[in-house]
């Protein structure tokens, strides 16, 4: 289904940005540390895995 209204387009763009941001954080340990401020080493490993 293609977005047709401005709000649908805005929601689609927001979803894509969230997906891209999440992928970037999961692939980069330093970014994830700075963003989430996680202290647990085991949890950090799960994010980067």
Query: Cβ of 46: how many Cβ atoms within 10 Å?
Result: 10
pTM over 0.95: no
Residue 3 pLDDT exceeds 70 = yes
Predicted pLDDT of residue 48: 60
Q: What is the pLDDT of residues 8-37, one digit of tens each?
A: 999 999 999 988 887 777 777 777 677 667
The rounded distance, in Å, linking the Cα atoms of 47 and 39 is 12
**Residue whose pair of structure tokens reads 């080493």 in the numeric block:** 41
């Amino acid at each position: 289904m293609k977005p047709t209204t401005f709000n649908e387009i805005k929601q689609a763009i927001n979803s894509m940005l969230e997906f891209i941001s999440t992928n970037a954080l999961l692939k980069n340990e330093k970014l994830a540390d700075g963003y989430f401020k996680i202290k647990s080493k085991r949890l950090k490993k799960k994010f980067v895995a």
